[in-house]
Amino acid sequence: MKNIEVKVLDNDIERAMRILKKKIQTDGLFKRLKMKKSYEKPSEYRRRKQREAVRRQRIAVLKNRYR
């Protein structure tokens, strides 16, 4: 687990909350919590992992194309 810290400057709680939410989203914590909320069948788990791998591969190809 990463330690996520946000400093509150000038009692600006709203800004700190926006920053915290953004950091949590980029860390993937919301996604992990959503996945743990319900049971995932092993076949669905393998299918999801395969889709994620294909997506990562597609993104890598697009990044290399523009270099």
Dist. CA 59–CA 45, nearest whole Å = 21
Q: Is 24 inside any structural domain?
A: yes
What total of structural domains would you count in the chain? 1
pLDDT beyond 70 at 40? yes
Two tokens at 51?
């889709």
Q: Is 3 inside any structural domain?
A: no
Q: Is 6 inside any structural domain?
A: no
Q: Is 1 inside any structural domain?
A: no
Q: Is 26 inside any structural domain?
A: yes
Residues 4, 19 contacting (CB under 8 angstroms): no
pLDDT bucket at 42, cuts 50 / 70 / 90: very high
Residue-number span of the structural domain to which 25 is assigned: 13-65
pLDDT attached to residue 1: 58
